[in-house]
Amino acid sequence: MFRSKTFIIFLCAFALLCSFYGDSYANSSEAFMSLPFGHMWTRTKLRMERSGAVTIAEKRGESLTMKGMFENREALFSFNFVSKKGLSSKTVNVSSIGNPQDDRALYDVLKMAFENRFGRGQERSMVGAGNSIALRSQWSPDQHTSIVLSYNPNTKRFSDNLAVDSPIRLSYVTSRWSN
């Protein structure tokens, strides 16, 4: 008898969890983070679409801009490609959820994850719009790769231009094919 009640409770919890996730947006952060340099344009687009991102602008083989979700926040993903070489840079601009403390917490968590993986980065503060302090951290995991994470507390909560009005921006760039 105990096992059947436990099983029924488990099924109810599972059904509730499935209904909750069924109504939420897909999250493209894992797909974005796992895309390696050299990944081809069509495969990049397909991987991001499977994660729920939608294409906004594209120039086949050269660039791709998509809108999706990054850690349950609206995000704008931008990808640049080098002909016959593949993905050369990727950037995500993450929107605010309206609470500067939560935006800063996401920046701090991302920064801590990069520091755990690549060591202490170069962090510096900059004066942003309205004399606010913006933060920028940079890592160079190898001689060709640069990772930049930035946080700007003075951004609009609702904006049609995430490329400008996003508190968090994460960019990966390789110089491997620039020679």
Instruction: Decide if pLDDT at 40 tops 50.
Output: yes
Q: Which pTM value belongs to this model?
A: 0.78
Instruction: Decide if pLDDT at 5 tops 70.
Output: no
In DSSP terms, 55 is beta-bridged to: 66
CB-CB contact of 68 with 28 (8 Å): yes
Instruction: Decide if pLDDT at 48 tops 90.
Output: yes
> Quick one: DSSP state of residue 157?
S
Q: Where are the domains of the chain?
A: 2-174
In whole angstroms, how large is the CA radius of gyration of the chain? Answer: 19
Q: Mark out the alpha helices in the chain (DSSP H runs).
A: 2-23, 29-34, 41-50, 100-118
CB-CB contact of 118 with 101 (8 Å): no
Q: Mark out the alpha helices in 24-160 (DSSP H runs).
A: 29-34, 41-50, 100-118
For residue range 89-135, list pLDDT tens digits in order. 999 999 887 778 888 899 899 999 888 888 887 888 877 656 667 88
pLDDT of residue 18: 41
Compare 3 and 175 and report the one with higher pLDDT: 175
81 confidence band (pLDDT: 50, 70, 90): very high
In DSSP terms, 69 is beta-bridged to: 74
pLDDT of residue 24: 39
